[in-house]
Amino acid sequence: MINTSKFTILGTLLLTIPAFSADMVFEKKENISLKGKISTVKTSKKYRNLEACQTLCELRSSCAAFTLDTSKGSCTILKNVSKEVSSSNATSGIKQ
């Protein structure tokens, strides 16, 4: 016999957890590398695409922005943004 109260509690918890991806809005900046206080830099293949880099930013409450630099193979997560620099190999996003 299945205890339905456990499923009810689990369902309630899932409904109360915010869907970060759906709620996050980023201002996309093509050919721009953002500078600021760095939270982390990821260089593994897992983070070398725009979607993965943006998702990493979405999952970190301290993330204000990210830059994906394809020439360096890096995803940089920033706590704040101090300036924008032109870079033909970078795509960035700033949380709105």
Give the pLDDT confidence of 1-18 residue by residue, as tens digits: 555 555 444 444 444 444
Across the range 32-40, mean pLDDT stands at 98
Block residue for tokens 């869907």: 19
Burial of 54 (C-beta count, 10 Å sphere; 0-12/13-18/19+): buried
Which of 3.40.50.720, 3.50.50.60, 3.30.1490.20, 3.50.4.10 is the CATH number of 25-95?
3.50.4.10
- Residues 25, 95, 40: CA angle, nearest 5 degrees: 125
What is the residue extent of each domain of the chain?
Answer: 25-95
pLDDT of residue 23: 63
Res. 76 pLDDT band, cuts 50 70 90: very high
